Amino acid sequence: MICGVDEAGKGSVLGPLVVAGIGISSEERLADLGVKDSKQLVPKERERLYREIRKRCKVATVTIDAQKIDAIRVEMTMNACVARAHARVITMLAPSCAYVDACDVNCFRYAEMVKVHLEPPCEIVSEHHADEKFAVVSAASIVAKVVRDREIAKLAKIYGEIGSGYPSDPVTIRWLSGYIGEHPRPPPIARRSWKTVSALLAKKSQSSLYDF
The number of domains in the chain is 2
Spatial separation of the C-alpha atoms in residues 5 and 153, rounded to whole Å: 23
Please give the pLDDT value at position 147. 97
Residues 79 and 178 in one domain: no
Whether residues 26 and 107 fall in one domain? yes
Give the residue numbers spanning the domain of 164.
157-200
pTM of the full structure: 0.92
Query: Tens of pLDDT along 36-47?
Result: 777 878 899 999
What pLDDT does 175 receive? 97
Rounded distance between C-alpha atoms, residue 165 and residue 58, angstroms: 28
Rg, the chain, Cα only: 18
With 70 as the cut, is the pLDDT of residue 212 above it? Answer: no
Q: For residue range 61-115, what is the model confidence (pLDDT) as tens digits? A: 999 999 999 999 999 999 999 999 999 999 999 999 999 999 999 999 999 999 9
Asked if residue 100 and residue 43 are part of one domain, the reply reads yes
Q: Residues 182, 123: one domain? A: no
Residues 136, 107: Cα–Cα separation, whole Å: 18
Domain end residue (candidates: 149, 173, 192): 149
50/124 same-domain check: yes
Same domain, 162 and 142: no
In a domain, 208, yes or no: no
Residue 177 and residue 130 share a domain: no
At 38 the pLDDT is 76
What's the CATH number where 170 sits?
1.10.10.460
Whether residue 114 contacts residue 87, with contact meaning beta carbons closer than 8 Å, is answered with yes
Average pLDDT over residues 187-211: 82
The mean predicted confidence, pLDDT, of the chain is 92
Q: For residue 124, how far is the Cα from the chain centroid? A: 19
In a domain, 205, yes or no: no
**Torsional sign, CA 195, 196, 197, 198:** positive
Shared-domain flag, residues 174 and 72 = no
